Structure 1
Amino acid sequence: MILILGGTGEARKLAEALTERGVEVVSSLAGRVARPRLPVGEVRVGGFGGPEGLARYLRENQVEAVVDATHPFAERIGANAATAAERTQTPLLRLARPGWQAGPQDDWHWAADLAEAAEMLADLGKRVFLTSGRQGLPAFAHLDDLWFLIRCVDPPEPPLPRHHELILARGPYEVAAERELLGRVDVLVTKDSGGAQTSAKLTAARELGMPVLLVRRPDRPATETAETVPAAVEWVLHR
């Protein structure tokens, strides 16, 4: 049995591709989204209880290999997976889509984390399109002199920026719609998630000549890595 740590589009595609090839797959979702898009095959929702709990799950279920196909910013589960795989001697693959790359017409600015992004905002604009996820919103809550157009999938919990408007939506998004939203702000803030599902906002910002403030990906444990679903499928089949 293969355990896929999922929640991403790549994880769903991998589960489908492996199931079609007769591989037994269990996809694990963190449960942070109220109505997640479910992959084919067996699905479990919720945490494992740290690396010890994950290691126990791997042993008890005779997991043959683990594919960490979580979001690029899900660093905790990535660290837990690396530790549990090492303790149980279970093969581990990280399925990580490449990050976004700036083109010659892009006005991109990079921050190490959300806290640094909040510090940099005042120099880039007063009206902000914030698409960094609901869990990171407290990092911007103290910026009372800025206005935020906030987009996330599920309703966020406080603290939130004092001056804001909330949009609840799930990608993929169209360039034309993103251009219309960006017409209301001065700067776009997002994480370097990579992939095409939410990249339309970057295209719209480029067309408008708008600055984009991107948060760099956190470090992940060193492990074997694939950038595409077909490469991950081949890795699993060779196990």
Structure 2
Amino acid sequence: MEYTFTPPAQAVVPVAGSTQMFPVHRVYCVGRNYVEHAKEMGHTGREAPFFFLKPADALLPVAAGATGEMPYPAMTSDLHHEIELVVAIGKAGRDIPAAEAGNYIWGYGVGLDMTRRDLQGEAKKLGRPWDTGKGFDKSAPIAPLHPLSETGLLETGNIRLDVNGAARQNSDISKLIWNVAETIEHLSRYFELQPGDLIFTGTPEGVNAVQKGDLLEGSVEGLTPLRVKVI
């Protein structure tokens, strides 16, 4: 096969404790999936889950023990952090019942859904897509993934983000409005999930702005933590 130019490299995420890489297909994100975060964004109740996507090459993989560097993006003065449990899919499926969702999970990781909140807010007012607010370059820092065989199904556990050593977000993944299995059930009605898909499952309350020079340290209990500096 002859290409018109050299194809871009496959987007990958390191596997914890291994030299293996997890090849990424798509990056799905769930909006407003913790009660208190929904409230701080002006919403209440258990609305049906909704989804948006980030490009696979928006990922910023950070090795264990390293500090990733995320350039402060252009066209914004209101860059927000959103710490999230990330679910990695290892098996193709459509219309997956929640009771069977665990069979499709390859593993888990810690991710940040970085958001140009001012651009997202303007898009919401105008009824336009969120792409410029959510899908920009390096908008999805992510720590190494852990296989399900190592972690078991994650249904509880602390999720936390510190900025410059001070707690900003601190909750538990058991507080997801739509848990991981239910999220997979809903998402697989819209898309045929594929090996290599990542699902950012939503963020708890406490989202706020960051500035150049800030150090973000995110964690989900039992997983490799994520460290990112905004430069």
TM-score range relative to shorter protein: under 0.3
TM-score, normalized by length of structure 2?
0.20
From the two aligned structures, give the one with the greater helix fraction. Answer: 1
Larger radius of gyration: 1
Could you say which structure has the greater relative contact order, defined with CA pairs below 8 angstroms and 6 or more residues apart?
2
